[in-house]
Structure 1
């Protein structure tokens, strides 16, 4: 029982240091203020937390990184009092794990370089297919990564630049600094000082979509004569890749949009508005790491609006089957969608099918 209580204390400490406490965690966290021993240990750990952030961006070794934090604490304290080292090492893993909803992959890219070329070394953070992740960057900006997405940045991020390369979808909550924050995708460059916005830039999608929640940002399509856009809160810009390649006007700006539809994924919602089943299937494939096969092409034309909590794959498919003329068969990592002929007459292709 005592061990479980300790685990819970450091689980809350982990959330406090990384992704932040939820509202339901607050009463339990407040109660820990009366735990003098925990507060003393937590204060020392928090004091040296930034040691972990300043480690070289190589492939992260969790035990090695937290040894560095622990050693710094011991250097300051010397032998007056001895901490329980196994507890800190064990809870270090918990703290690192709370950075992501499933797991976070740090990857070293490139060959060993000289000190003069260190700024070219990239750190890559990835949310593999089937998982989502959240990470705090060195400048304390936060990034939520959707399934099958990754960001990369140089060693000098937060010092001489704040440039992020994005593949996939991410929500950014940017801390304002003098150095501009920039996001680069295959189709556009985004510049901002401090704001919150979503970018969807999967390689297999026909367009790159940027949605502004608050603040302001500048979007420049990657074409020499392309128009530059200044987005306001509640606006969404789609850049069509095929038009961009042909040198045609590629931007499509929408105003007064529901930002929750575009950003709900980071809070565990699968939200859509007027999307085809083909588009929705791609989202489900990334979220659950499966391949979806359509028995007929006609099925792809059904359209959905609404939102579903991101539960298990089977639960999501059952919710869709209750509100549309489809059946499904799951075989390992393959899902086959079929038309339900007995309910087909209730629906018409291209009409919105409401999910609940």
Structure 2
């Protein structure tokens, strides 16, 4: 520090005799002298010792940078924001997505490839967004109609069987021990146990308790999308279960004969008509004991 101070005073011709003698005896004096000779033509302003000393010391050692407190909070907030974005991205892409249709409701939504899905009442679908275009696979509980965008193989997995397509329109229903698949466009491959069936436009297959039934379908889309519940050789308990889902009600059955099979349609938006059809078909009497409970008794 003393050497730097002497240098500054010497450049300003402000050394005492003793200081000058000491400075001239230093090993670097000759070098400083040559520098001064080359810069004699420059005009040097009034010396501020403190400022000059401060500038010299800055070149030797950088002053620690102090971050204001408010900037620390800004950095912290930014870090939290980035973390939130990463968490949201991971949740939306890696965590399985779930779509549901509650009793009495239908849900329509799009998959990542813009394939369209309509869920029937009391149904659920699970899938992952991540790498969807390369792995178009989902799990279905209940019933759904699919309008699949063209692309790689598209798979619908249920507890009873699997449906595989490339790009088409079809309906899948898996309720209890009954598995129904209808193809409305293109081709659909159905796997049930050890059986594999290929369906084309207008074809349908049903598996129940291991038995297979093939049918021809004339409609352009599932009847339930037009608020009509369609049944083919189904027992009364299955019919009442579907009525419960469509109307979001509870039904109690007090009848011995539950073996007779029903084929036909029941409205999904007119409960009184639906109850009358069931009454007539099975010789029952429906009683509304509350707004959301029905009891069927034998006549």
What's the secondary structure of 1:121's corresponding residue?
A: coil
* TM value normalised by structure 1: 0.53
| Alpha-carbon distance change, 261 to 320 in structure 1, aligned in 2, over 3 angstroms | farther
The reply to whether residue 211 of structure 1 matches residue 182 of structure 2 is: yes
Structure 2 stretches lacking a partner, 5+ long: 1-85
Q: By how many angstroms is 1:137 displaced?
A: 2.2
Q: Does 1:138 align with 2:115?
A: no
* Residue 274, structure 1, aligned to residue 233, structure 2: yes
Q: 1:140 to 1:201 in 2, by over 3 A?
A: same
**Aligned equivalents of 1:324, 1:126: Cα separation in 2:** 32
Report deviation, 1:145.
0.7
Distance apart, 1:114 and its partner CA: 10
1:231 shift after superposition: 1.8
Q: Is the 8 A contact 2:247 2:268 kept in 1?
A: no
In 1, Cα distance between equivalents of 2:114 and 2:89:
25
Q: State whether residues 184 and 221 of structure 2, in contact with CA within 8 Å, keep that contact through their aligned partners in structure 1.
A: no
Query: Gapped runs of 5+ residues in structure 1?
Result: 1-111, 243-249, 341-356
Alpha-carbon distance in structure 1 between the residues aligned to 2:180 and 2:91? 34
Superposition deviation, residue 154 in structure 1:
0.5
Cα displacement string for residues 262-306 of structure 1 (whole angstroms, at most 9, x for unaligned residues): 9201121122233322221111011112222211221x2344333
The equivalent position to 2:255 in structure 1, one of 296, 305, 318, is 296
TM-aligned CA distance change 1:251 to 1:160, over 3 Å: farther
Q: Deviations over 1:291-342 (max 9, x none)?
A: 22211221x23443332332232332134335552210122332111222xx
SS of the aligned residue for 2:222 comes to helix
Instruction: Tell me the CA shift for residue 150 of structure 1.
Output: 0.9
The partner residue of 1:156 within 130, 140, 147 is 130
* Cα deviation, residue 216, structure 1: 0.6
Which 4+ runs in 1 deviate beyond 6 A? 112-118
With the length of structure 2 as denominator, give the TM-score of the two structures: 0.63
**1:41-99 CA-partner distances (Å, limit 9, x unpaired):** xxxxxxxxxxxxxxxxxxxxxxxxxxxxxxxxxxxxxxxxxxxxxxxxxxxxxxxxxxx
**1:286 is paired with a residue of what secondary structure?**
helix
Distance across 1 between alignment mates of 2:158 and 2:282? 35
Equivalent residue for 2:150? 176
Contact in 2 for aligned 1:278/1:301 (Cα 8 Å) = no
Does the CA contact (< 8 Å) of 1:181 and 1:191 recur in 2?
Answer: yes
Q: What's the counterpart of residue 200 of structure 2?
A: 232
- Checking the alignment, whether the CA contact within 8 Å between 2:101 and 2:124 is kept in structure 1 is yes
Alpha carbons of structure 1 residues 183 and 259: separation in structure 2 relative to 1, 3 Å = farther
Tell me the equivalent position of 2:48.
Answer: none
Contact 1:130–1:289, Cα closer than 8 Å, also in 2: yes
> What is the CA distance between 1:206 and its match in structure 2?
1.2
1:195 has 2:168 as partner: yes
Instruction: Give the Cα–Cα distance (whole angstroms) in 2 for the partners of residues 251 and 294 of structure 1.
Output: 27
Partners of 2:224 and 2:131 lie apart in 1 by 27
CA contact (8 A) 1:211 1:262 kept: no
Aligned 8 A contact 2:140 2:158 in 1:
yes
User: Structure 2: how far apart are the matches of 1:262 and 1:306?
Assistant: 16
Q: Please give the alpha-carbon distance, in whole angstroms, between the structure 1 residues aligned to 2:295 and 2:220.
A: 26
Contact 1:213–1:259, Cα closer than 8 Å, also in 2 = no
Report the Cα offset of residue 148 of structure 1.
Answer: 0.5
Matched residue SS, 2:134 = coil
CA RMSD of aligned residues (A): 2.8
**Higher share of residues assigned strand:** 2
Shift of 1:172: 0.8
* Secondary structure class of the residue paired with 1:301: coil
How many residues are paired up? 213
1:186 maps to what in 2? 159
